[in-house]
């Protein structure tokens, strides 16, 4: 009976070794956990992005020492360039639109996930798990506390509808002026005598509640619909 013989190269043995597999799989797991939180909030950098990023950083950290060789004391040369690469990636996520800056939290999350991947690649599992836990707390609970305390300004999209364009604009401007809020019109249109104005307002939850109440109480507005800005962190 013929028994097939399997031969593995040195790199195959490294990839299949217990230590290497544990580091890469741990990086995938921790990056995926952070990615699930981002995916739940419908962010562009979601599950796959954070998982692959964490895996890549872990693998580059491991390859850094291998590529340096035994006689080279500078084992972190490749790994040190990860920080620069992540900086370019994070800068591409940050968007500036009019008086708003979006994507800062997503960029910071990518930076932290990269450090978690590097910790996994170095075999620092406890530190990587602790950093993941702190990241999840910062993304979920700290944001909730900021919102409840009124520290965090949430950007909401207001869609105000009415039949009289002039009266509608006067109403919106007067309400915003009383609350010292600048009108930032995103879209406006008219259909068969029906007017619609869409504008964005960054404010605390309490201020949003007051603004919605005043707009809906006005005789010039027939309907006021409020949406959460999808780009809001």
* DSSP-assigned states of every residue in 6-53: ----HHHHHHHSHHHHHHHHHHHHHHHHHHHHHHHTT-SS-HHHHHHH
Instruction: Give the model's pLDDT for residue 4.
Output: 46
Q: What is the pTM of this model?
A: 0.69
Residues in the chain: 233
Distance CA 144, CA 3 (A): 62
Is the sign of the CA dihedral 105, 108, 112, 117 positive or negative?
A: positive
Distance CA 156, CA 227 (A): 6
Distance CA 225, CA 233 (A): 21
Instruction: Give the model's pLDDT for residue 230.
Output: 61
Q: Which domains are delineated in the chain?
A: 14-149 (no CATH), 154-228 (3.30.70.260)
Per-residue pLDDT of the chain (233 residues; tens, 9 = 90+): 444 444 545 655 555 565 788 899 999 999 999 999 988 887 878 899 999 999 999 988 887 777 666 666 666 677 778 888 887 777 777 765 555 667 788 888 999 999 999 999 888 999 999 999 999 998 888 877 776 776 677 788 899 988 888 888 888 889 888 888 888 888 888 877 788 888 888 888 888 888 989 888 888 888 888 887 766 65
Instruction: Give the model's pLDDT for residue 71.
Output: 63
Cα-based distances in Å from 52 to 21, 27, 151 = 15, 9, 34
Instruction: Give the model's pLDDT for residue 25.
Output: 92
Angle at 118 between CA 142 and CA 17, to 5 degrees: 130
Instruction: Give the model's pLDDT for residue 101.
Output: 66
């Amino acid at each position: 009976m013929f028994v097939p013989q399997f031969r593995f190269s040195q790199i195959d043995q490294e990839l299949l070794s217990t230590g290497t597999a544990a580091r890469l799989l741990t990086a995938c797991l921790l990056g995926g956990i952070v990615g699930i939180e981002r995916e739940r909030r419908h962010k562009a950098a979601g599950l796959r992005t954070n998982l692959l990023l964490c895996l890549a950083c872990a693998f580059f950290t491991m390859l850094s020492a291998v590529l340096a060789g035994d006689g080279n004391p500078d084992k972190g040369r490749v790994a040190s360039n990860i920080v620069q690469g992540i900086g370019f990636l994070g800068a591409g996520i940050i968007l500036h639109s009019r008086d708003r800056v979006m994507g800062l939290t997503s960029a910071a999350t990518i930076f932290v996930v990269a450090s978690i991947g590097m910790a996994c690649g170095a075999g620092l599992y406890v530190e990587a798990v602790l950093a993941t836990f702190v990241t999840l707390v910062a993304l979920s609970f700290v944001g909730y506390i900021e919102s409840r305390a009124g520290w965090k300004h949430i950007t909401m999209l207001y869609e105000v509808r009415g039949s009289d364009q002039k009266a509608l604009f006067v109403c919106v401007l007067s309400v915003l002026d009383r609350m010292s809020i600048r009108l930032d019109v995103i879209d406006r249109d008219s259909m068969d005598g029906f007017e619609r104005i869409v504008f964005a307002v960054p404010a605390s939850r309490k201020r949003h509640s007051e603004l919605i109440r005043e707009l809906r109480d006005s005789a010039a507005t027939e309907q006021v619909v409020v949406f959460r800005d999808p780009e809001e962190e």
